[in-house]
Structure 1
Amino acid sequence: MNAPDKLPGLDSAQLDRDVTAAWNERIVPQLSDYIAVPAKSPMFDPQWREHGLIDRVVRDAAQWVEGRKVPGLRLEVVREGDRTPVIFFELPATKPDSSQTVLVYGHLDKQPEFNGWRADLGPWTPKLENGKLYGRGGADDGYAIYAAISAIEGLKAQNVAHPRIVGLIETCEESGSGDLPFYLDKLKARLGDVSLVVCLDSGAGNYDQLWLTTSLRGNITGALKVEILTEGVHSGDASGLVPSSFRILRQVLDRLEDSKTGTLLPSIFHCEIPAARRAQAEAAAAILGDAAWKTFPWACGADGGLTLPTTTDATEALLNRTWRPTLSVTGVDGMPALASAGNVLRPYTAFKLSLRLPPLVDGHEAAVQLKALLEDNAPYNAKVTFEPDGRVGNWGASGWNAPDLAPWLETAMDRASRSHFGAPLGYIGQGGTIPLMNLLQQGFPKAQMMVCGVLGPKSNAHGPNEFLHIGYGTKLTAAVAEVIAAHP
């Protein structure tokens, strides 16, 4: 793509300087305070109302925005009953005859602590080191509201005209965005004619260029439990007669997954990969090479070398983590810690399952099928239950496949990438789930989607040692500003 070198009326170098100052002077200190607050999403903190931590980060963010005194900007914290709050802000257009709206999205709720953090780091202990801000939630994606406002300020500083801009910052994304449909409906009239959605809750293939997310996987999470006894019994007395709940659970999972390859067996969980997405994966693989799989923290293997991925083919690696279904066990119950494990045959075993779905598979229908597959015809007539997360009738989250790009947006993003990163725009699918994207695409079917984020190699959202790459966040902020300015 041969994009024009400059956007008329915008000094990209000055925008870089202004945004860099904003990050160094205001955003990084504010994010450090944010990281220190364990504002866990409601799924992980059922008493979030009593604890008040979600309200605190919302209040802090709102006060920060209001303190910037952006001309014309109005902000409101919207809350309804027992639902999680959202921040809504709006800024009128300065472009003449502009009736369309740019919607900027982010969230402030966080994943839980997890274990394995470096000794000098912690989920709620912010630390700036070598251009990276460590701690839970900064990159995923507490930075979004601060970056959005700073992008707007960068345009205002140069008197660059822009369309109407609204912001929607939610606080239950990590719990599946269950409250978001209500707020989208409640705020529909105020959102206006949304023609571009800028979602700042995604990832990057590297830190060298702007990356556009082209697809997201769906997800089903829930607890699979196998019960065989009402209480634990002496294993020497019972084993061989009482079947192991763990063995039964293994048999049940064998219905779902080929344990040798990790391939999911039922066709309901698969879809055909569109030719355009396969071609984009090949192009991304050509950029990333072995980094498509080598960036993960592989352990030391049996022969002294590193453990191995499912494939070392870069294209297949990208497709495996973005367009193919995969099962992960993310938690366990019914098993004592090793130090407390006596000779007892346990009465039950429970696993927390996370099943990533291809972008074109319906999440709720897949969850219904999964529940039936796991529960029906239990071995030994054991009590097998699978309880999907979410509200009854609304299990699972569907994935998302981006609409075709409008020429103006593709040109604007490529120009912004070249201006601020010195490299062309990259295209990549993501293996995570952002339920909002389907909701917004359904609500605004004609809107263009700019989905991007700072979660690049080793940033490790949800896991230990999560970090935000400050340099990338700074350049991304400038790129977002330039794209908004290019809105026709």
Structure 2
Amino acid sequence: MSLDDLRARVSAVLPGIRSDLEDLVRIQSVSADPARSGEVERSAQAVLALFEAEGFTARIARAFDGAPPAVIAHKPGPEGSPTVLLYAHHDVQPENDPAEWDSPPYEPTERNGRLYGRGAADDKAGIAAHLAAIRALGDDLPVGVVLFCEGEEEVGSDTLSDLLAQEKDSLSADVIVIADSGNWDIGIPALTTSLRGLVRVDVEVRTLTHAVHSGMWGGLVPDSLMTLARLIASLHDDEGNVVVEGLKSGPADDVEYPEEKLRAESGALASIRWIGSGPIVERLWTKPAISITGLDAPQVFGASNTLVPSARARITLRTAPADNTENALARLLEHLEKHTPWGAELTATVVDTGEATAIKADGPAYDIARDAFTQAWDGVRPIDMGVGGSIPFIAEFLDAFPQASVLVTGVEDPDTRAHGANEGLHLAEFERVCLAETLLLSNLASLSK
């Protein structure tokens, strides 16, 4: 089937796909909110119905009774054709403060070429892209397809390992397409080939059994906030490089990241100097990064003149693709114990961890994917992109299905604002994503099973 034929087919199904996407966005499938567990169930049933309508045999799957619902659906291909697993997730992040949104978070609204709403991009648009390719190809689908739509990605995929082991035979595939990442920019597609891992630790330092008068004891007894500040400062050198000994890093692909693009996409103030040393993309993708993402301390308003006995911080370590969480956690804890000043008591509690991912993106499936992206973006070849954030479940797919070619794609762009207020899907880019996946499925038929 020619490119023009497939482009016409995708264009024809897009109005219906957008309507289906908007219906999904209206479902408040916030997996982090127990009060909305019924909405997560409703979104799973909605996804199931959409794929059943396309001739799939579909069911709800759980790792155990009470676990979040996933949707698994199958549609066989011609005899001897390869099988492609299409992944997305139907749960979403909380909307947080609705007042920060320019339109209601669960009422999809178009403004200036974007469709806004929680999940409009992450990741209900991933579901919609899969559906668009299936619907566009219709009875001409040349490969077997397995849909796996998870319901707990936004809360860490805690039961995913068990579910993958339980459903290993039904999810087995030659190629896996994970639609939960993004593209380099509007008009520039990308394949995600590396993601950093995650280690989060809550640390508490204690210097006193109780608060005491700062005038009477200041200058002799260290307060916990001063102590915690010193401990946090020990994690970086003066340039902002992470100095925890034993953490691993590696090189990144040679990708130019212009200064104006960095400023615009990061939201950094014009006066801010970048931290760290080395190539920009290495600092963002393939070197460790440590941030302080939470702090428990008395608020300034109404603060009394006392030495605070204890203080807590959440330390978020993004591990390089060359590292693993076992090593990174051990090295971080060693550093914290070594650098806690003045004999303060240190308590460290592990919040969660997630493995980094590095994909060797070569071979026939990747060649077919790059050609499909190039055609969908009118001759613009995709770049191999690293991601500084973490999607730990990708490592689980690589471990569970080592024989499969894993393609990490997605609908997001630098201004998608996933997880934040005014999350939005760029509609013109979404059409290209749908065309690229349609081309991909059409051309993967050439692979030997």
Q: Same fold (TM over 0.5)?
A: yes
Separation (CA, whole Å) in 1 of partners of 2:211 and 2:55? 65
Q: In the TM superposition, what whole-angstrom CA distance separates every residue of 1:231-278 from its partner, at most 9, and x where no partner exists?
A: 4344334332331212222332344322x22211134222232xxx43
Separation (CA, whole Å) in 2 of partners of 1:270 and 1:204? 27
Amino acid of the residue matched to residue 463 of structure 1?
G
Separation (CA, whole Å) in 2 of partners of 1:105 and 1:216? 17
Q: What is residue 295 of structure 2 aligned with on the other side?
A: 332
Match of 1:181 among 138, 161, 165: 161
Match of 2:231 among 252, 261, 264: 252
Q: Please state how far the C-alpha of 1:143 moved relative to its aligned partner.
A: 2.2
Amino acid of the residue matched to residue 92 of structure 1?
P
Separation (CA, whole Å) in 2 of partners of 1:231 and 1:463? 39
- Tell me the secondary structure at the aligned position of residue 453 of structure 1: strand
Structure 1 residues 189 and 138, CA, compared in 2 at 3 Å: closer, same or farther?
same
In the comparison of the two structures, how many residue pairs are matched?
Answer: 444
| 1:235–1:343 CA contact under 8 A, matched in 2 | yes
Separation (CA, whole Å) in 1 of partners of 2:287 and 2:426? 28
Q: Does 1:128 align with 2:110?
A: yes
Match of 2:80 among 91, 97, 102: 97
Q: Does 1:30 align with 2:23?
A: yes
Separation (CA, whole Å) in 1 of partners of 2:129 and 2:16? 9
Separation (CA, whole Å) in 1 of partners of 2:357 and 2:272? 31
Q: What is residue 266 of structure 1 aligned with on the other side?
A: 244
- Tell me the secondary structure at the aligned position of residue 339 of structure 1: coil
Q: Please state how far the C-alpha of 1:152 moved relative to its aligned partner.
A: 0.8
Match of 1:403 among 341, 353, 360: 360
Match of 1:419 among 363, 376, 380: 376
Identity across the alignment (%): 27
Match of 2:264 among 276, 283, 295: 295
Q: What is residue 459 of structure 1 aligned with on the other side?
A: 416
Separation (CA, whole Å) in 2 of partners of 1:349 and 1:421? 55
Q: Does 1:319 align with 2:282?
A: yes
Match of 2:11 among 17, 21, 24: 17
Q: What is residue 53 of structure 2 aligned with on the other side?
A: 70
Separation (CA, whole Å) in 1 of partners of 2:209 and 2:113? 54
Structure 1 residues 68 and 137, CA, compared in 2 at 3 Å: closer, same or farther?
closer
Q: Please state how far the C-alpha of 1:113 moved relative to its aligned partner.
A: 4.4
Q: Please state how far the C-alpha of 1:433 moved relative to its aligned partner.
A: 1.0
| 1:217–1:433 CA contact under 8 A, matched in 2 | yes
| 1:19–1:474 CA contact under 8 A, matched in 2 | no
Amino acid of the residue matched to residue 217 of structure 2?
A
Separation (CA, whole Å) in 1 of partners of 2:107 and 2:294? 24
Structure 1 residues 235 and 86, CA, compared in 2 at 3 Å: closer, same or farther?
farther
- Tell me the secondary structure at the aligned position of residue 268 of structure 1: coil
- Tell me the secondary structure at the aligned position of residue 201 of structure 2: strand
Q: What is residue 191 of structure 1 aligned with on the other side?
A: 171
Q: Does 1:353 align with 2:337?
A: no
Q: Does 1:223 align with 2:202?
A: yes
- Tell me the secondary structure at the aligned position of residue 322 of structure 1: helix
Amino acid of the residue matched to residue 375 of structure 2?
R
Amino acid of the residue matched to residue 344 of structure 1?
T
| 1:202–1:454 CA contact under 8 A, matched in 2 | yes
Q: What is residue 350 of structure 2 aligned with on the other side?
A: 388
- Tell me the secondary structure at the aligned position of residue 438 of structure 1: helix
Structure 1 residues 140 and 237, CA, compared in 2 at 3 Å: closer, same or farther?
farther
Separation (CA, whole Å) in 2 of partners of 1:271 and 1:30? 43
- Tell me the secondary structure at the aligned position of residue 225 of structure 1: strand
Separation (CA, whole Å) in 2 of partners of 1:408 and 1:10? 22
Q: Please state how far the C-alpha of 1:299 moved relative to its aligned partner.
A: 5.2
- Tell me the secondary structure at the aligned position of residue 140 of structure 1: coil
Match of 2:192 among 203, 213, 217: 213
Deviation larger for 205-214 or 16-25: 16-25
Amino acid of the residue matched to residue 261 of structure 1?
E
Q: Please state how far the C-alpha of 1:146 moved relative to its aligned partner.
A: 2.6
Separation (CA, whole Å) in 1 of partners of 2:120 and 2:209? 44
Q: What is residue 141 of structure 2 aligned with on the other side?
A: 161
Structure 1 residues 129 and 376, CA, compared in 2 at 3 Å: closer, same or farther?
same
Structural RMSD (CA): 2.8
| 1:38–1:124 CA contact under 8 A, matched in 2 | no
Q: Please state how far the C-alpha of 1:217 moved relative to its aligned partner.
A: 0.7
Separation (CA, whole Å) in 1 of partners of 2:377 and 2:50? 28
Match of 1:87 among 42, 62, 71: 71
Structure 1 residues 234 and 203, CA, compared in 2 at 3 Å: closer, same or farther?
farther
Q: In the TM superposition, what whole-angstrom CA distance separates every residue of 1:406-463 from its partner, at most 9, and x where no partner exists?
A: 1353234323432355522222111111112111111211211211112211222233
- Tell me the secondary structure at the aligned position of residue 328 of structure 1: strand
User: For structure 1, which runs of at least 5 residues remain unmatched after alignment?
Assistant: 1-6, 391-395
Amino acid of the residue matched to residue 341 of structure 2?
P
Runs of 4+ in structure 1 off by over 6 angstroms are none
